Amino acid sequence: MPAILTSAPGKIILFGEHAVVYGRPAIAVPVTQVQAQALAVATPRAPLGEVRIQAPDIGLDARLDELAPRHPLRLAVSGVCETLHIQRLPAFQLRVTSSIPLSSGMGSGAAVAVAVIRATSEFLGTKLTDEVVSDLAFEVEKVHHGTPSGIDNTVIATGRPVYFQKAPEAEGGLGSRIEPITVAAPFVLVIGISSERSQTLQVVGAVRQAWQANERHYEALFDQVAALSQAARGCIEAGRPEEMGALMDENQQYLKAIGVSSQGLEALILAAKKSGALGAKLSGAGRGGNMIALVKPEQAPAVAAALAEAGARQTIVTEIRGKN
């Protein structure tokens, strides 16, 4: 069996985080400068069925069956086996690496799941469609996030900008509206990773509690955010991405009102704006993690430098095109 190497990009949410959990549309784009990789290699001397998982970034080197039944890596492999109706696996080794910053809202968990699902299925002789890969990664996302909207696995499995609206709760997240966005004119984002980690599960839980306590207020905020996602899609498809700057600033005000910004993120957003960004907002769950700034291409180095100066532990400049 030949060795199989697969990869999956990181992602950022351009508009609509949190509101997307409550059925509003959001926009996410892949970030190809960072990625997760999985390498599947046969280990003919090992006993039949022995699958060894190595993830040096997190110090993991174990047999698959030694991992807890709901360990994300074990779920990713077992999801493939169920889909392909495979009961007895050949002996092989999976080596997982990732350059996607952890707990930063860049989708590292979903990207690792997508890479592992692809490596395992291709090693076993079947190339799954992006849709099936995404559905399997969604199951893994539930371990990381509790009640994920499904936007991370969707944008990472398809590898292209997406307008996403979750299916109603009753449908268990399946049948969500997933529309690829045509990027009529490329645009440049500077991503600033803050030094605070973002804990998606906790932040999403805190927003749910606040929503339960004041449903009407939060529903109104989510409606406002939905209108911004719709308007932003129009800007991207019309080739006027610079008009998204003001929409990003507005989205940030709503994210603050939802209660998911932080001092560190606000400092980065202010630094980006002061150094000439067209718009800036946090991205992902918030209360740490990353923020993004829309810039004219020639401004990118100055904005990245300003973010580093204001405390970003990493900056990434990325150009968003139709299919990266």
Q: Which of 112, 133, 204, 295 binds ligand PMV (CB under 6 A)?
A: 204
Residue among 25 and 289 whose Cβ is closer to ligand PMV:
289
Nearest to 321 by CA among 13, 6, 105, 32: 32
| From 37, 98, 194, 198, residue interacting with ligand PMV (rule: CB under 6 A) | 198
| 151 counts as binding ligand PMV under rule CB under 6 A | yes
Alpha carbon distance 112, 197 (integer Å): 18
Residues 262-301 that bind ligand PMV (CB under 6 A): 284-285, 289
Dist. CA 12–CA 18, nearest whole Å: 13
Residues 87-106 that bind ligand PMV (CB under 6 A): 105
Task: Please identify which residue in 149, 154, 158, 252 interacts with ligand PMV, judged by CB under 6 A.
Answer: 149
Helix axes 263-274 and 244-258, enclosed angle (nearest 10): 160
Using the rule CB under 6 A, which residue among 152, 196, 249, 250 binds ligand PMV?
A: 152
Give yes or no for residue 148 binding ligand PMV (CB under 6 A): yes
> CB-based contacts of 155: which residues, under 8 Å, 6+ apart?
11, 28, 29, 30, 107, 161, 162, 164
Q: What is the phi/psi pair of residue 283, to 5°? A: -140, 130
Catalytic annotation, pick one of 57, 152, 223, 249: 152
135 flagged as catalytic: no
Residue with smallest beta-carbon separation from ligand PMV: 284
How far apart, in whole angstroms, are the C-alpha atoms of residue 60 and residue 55?
5
Residue with tokens 């508009």: 15
User: Which residues are near ligand PMV by CB under 6 A?
Assistant: 13, 17-18, 20-21, 105, 107, 145, 148-149, 151-152, 198, 200, 204, 284-285, 289
Question: Active-site positions?
Answer: 152
